[in-house]
Amino acid sequence: MDTLLVTGGAGFIGANFVRWLMDQTAVRVTVLDKLTYAGNRDSLAGLPGDRVEFVRGDVCDAELVERLVAGVDAVVHFAAESHNDNSLNDPSPFIQTNLVGTYTLLQAVRRHGVRYHHISTDEVYGDLELDVPTRFTEATPYNPSSPYSASKAGSDLLVRAWVRSFDVQATLSNCSNNYGPYQHIEKFIPRQITNVLCGLRPKLYGSGANVRDWIHVDDHNEAVWTILNRGQIGQTYLIGADGERDNRQVIEDILTLLGRPSDDYDLVADRPGHDLRYAIDSTKLRQELGWSPRYPSFQQGLAATIEWYRQHEDWWRPAKEATEAKYAQQGQ
Ligand code: NAD
Ligand code: TDX
């Protein structure tokens, strides 16, 4: 595999994926990204110009997608509207990008016989009870809760149908919550880090008992590369690093690592339909493809992430005021 089309490569996980590829492989990459509010050209700064080409455009633009897909060995599709809270305020871009965008790419890879990897989320499975050992597996029925997760679930089903009906050479992965550098500050962990750095109090939805299963973005991306190279066509792989923590614990960790009292946060309005708990069983990926996470612990990864936001204020500061103004309108 010499050339890849990476959609959403100016977003959080996509930008880290392109950076990871530059470090770990010899592939050449074309990034296709619309640069919505969530995309940032600076997230790709400093990468070699002879190996990374940036194209600003929409995954729903069939003509553009057709042309770009025709020139590569594989497509990795990260581009999406990705934030649950936004999907509750206005679902329409979620339907367009996540469903129509995926359909547009599938039609192009079908025509050109190009390998395709679909990036999805554990949220397609709905949520789990607290304090039970149950975790999501590849066999868990789909049961999405929000417009975001429903649009991702729909896009996954399109991929499966294109594999079965048209022999598209696709794999899928559903990963748990990512953290790390270049994550938009609307998301939980960077929002709280940058709040503390700005002298604001972190904001915890509801009671803070909701559990997320955290994985460092580099571990996610190494799993994606593994599946792209060794995954079985038509198969789904769950990606997770056994990182379950409740939101309250995470806020307390952030405050402690930043030298603040661990109770220096506000409880704010809960998210409507807020999923209680996500937890991934990644046995299939570990046993069949030999992947395992490298990041030693959530605590170490979190400390490194805090340090990154401390040192890259120029990257996040321009978005802070507008992001917080939007949350303030929602009482969050
Ligand atoms: P993000 O919001 O940070 O980035 C999304 C990127 O897609 C942005 O650069 C944006 O400009 C681009 N984009 C949006 N609409 C587009 C369009 N119509 N055409 C072209 N580009 C467009 O998202 P992220 O957190 O990096 O998530 C990437 C993928 O991973 C998504 O598919 C998401 O569902 C999935 N995922 C995310 C997580 C997580 O914890 N963040 C976990 C599991 C799966
Ligand atoms: O200020 C906050 N306070 C708070 O308590 C924010 C922004 C969030 N939360 C809670 C809500 C969730 O329980 O923190 C948890 C994590 O919230 P998000 O960062 O919004 O992530 P989540 O809704 O879990 O979805 C994420 O993981 C799965 C990504 O945004 C999705 O793209 C991915 O599919």
Residue 42 falls in the annotated catalytic set: no
Ligand 1 centroid–CA 44 distance in Å is 15
Q: What is the pLDDT of residues 229-245, one digit of tens each?
A: 999 999 999 999 999 99
2.60.120.10, 3.40.50.720, 3.30.470.20, 3.40.50.970: CATH of 3-178+215-239: 3.40.50.720
Ligand 2 centroid–CA 209 distance in Å is 13
Average pLDDT of the chain to the nearest whole number: 98
Residue 296 has pLDDT above 90, yes or no: no
CB 50 within 8 A of CB 25: no
Residue 123 falls in the annotated catalytic set: yes
| Cα separations in angstroms, 267 against 63, 150, 166, 167, 271 | 47, 27, 50, 50, 12
Q: What is the pLDDT of residues 145-188, one digit of tens each?
A: 999 999 999 999 999 999 999 999 999 999 999 999 999 999 99
The response to whether residue 188 sits with its C-beta less than 6 Å from ligand 2 reads: yes
| Cα separations in angstroms, 121 against 28, 144, 195, 236, 243 | 26, 10, 26, 11, 15
Give nearest CA residue, ligand 1 atom 4: 11
Dmax (CA) for the chain in angstroms is 58
The pLDDT assigned to 116 comes to 99
The response to whether residue 177 sits with its C-beta less than 6 Å from ligand 1 reads: yes
CB 281 within 8 A of CB 135: yes
Q: What is the arithmetic mean of pLDDT over 183-201?
A: 98
The response to whether residue 216 sits with its C-beta less than 6 Å from ligand 1 reads: no
Read off the pTM.
0.99
Q: Residue written as tokens 């050992």?
A: 133
Sign of the CA dihedral running 264, 268, 271, 275: positive
Q: What is the arithmetic mean of pLDDT over 100-123?
A: 99
The response to whether residue 210 sits with its C-beta less than 6 Å from ligand 2 reads: yes
* Percentage of residues in the chain having pLDDT higher than 90: 99
The residue whose CB lies within 8 Å of the most ligand 1 atoms, and thus the one to mutate among 7, 12, 35, 250, is 12
Residue 277 is given by DSSP the state: B
Residue 148 falls in the annotated catalytic set: yes
Q: What is the arithmetic mean of pLDDT over 34-40?
A: 98
Q: Which of 33, 58, 81, 123 is catalytic?
A: 123
Give nearest CA residue, ligand 1 atom 12: 8
How far is the C-alpha of 3 from the C-alpha of 44, rounded, in Å?
17
Which ligand 2 atom sits closest to the C-alpha of 82? Answer: 32
Q: What is the arithmetic mean of pLDDT over 260-279?
A: 98
